[in-house]
Amino acid sequence: MKKTKKMMAGVLTAALAASLTACGEDRPPEPTGYDCDDWDWDKKTGTYYCDDDSSSHSGGYYHNGTVYSNKKALKTSSSYQSYVKSGIGSGTKGGFGG
């Protein structure tokens, strides 16, 4: 019986940790299939940023299936501008895809 209690406690702890990690963060999953091993969430742009110095996408921002070479390229893209108008700060979920 002790083993069962320990096992259940472990399962509950893992479930609680997973739910707390996601709490308050409404973001898409990290990009996959790109040459970047370290994606960081950039709260200001609402996109992922490649923080992998050895990557060909280092310093790039991922949005809607595209990696932009820098923040300026991201912000001037029509896809991102549409996302900002419909998503960030408006209370609605905006154009994340890919």
Tell me whether residue 4 is in a domain. Answer: no
CA-atom Rg of the chain in angstroms: 18
Q: Is the per-residue pLDDT at 19 higher than 70?
A: no
Distance separating the N- and C-terminal Cα atoms of the chain: 47
Tell me whether residue 69 is in a domain. Answer: yes
Tell me whether residue 86 is in a domain. Answer: yes
Cα separations in angstroms, 84 against 4, 8, 21, 28, 81: 49, 44, 25, 15, 5
Tell me whether residue 87 is in a domain. Answer: yes
| Alpha helices in 23-97, H assignment, sequence order | 71-76, 78-86
Q: What is the pLDDT of residues 24-81, one digit of tens each?
A: 567 889 999 899 999 999 999 999 999 999 999 999 999 999 999 999 999 999 999 9
Tell me whether residue 72 is in a domain. Answer: yes
Give the residue numbers spanning the domain of 72. 31-98
Count of the separate structural domains present in the chain: 1
Tell me whether residue 22 is in a domain. Answer: no
Tell me whether residue 11 is in a domain. Answer: no
Tell me whether residue 21 is in a domain. Answer: no
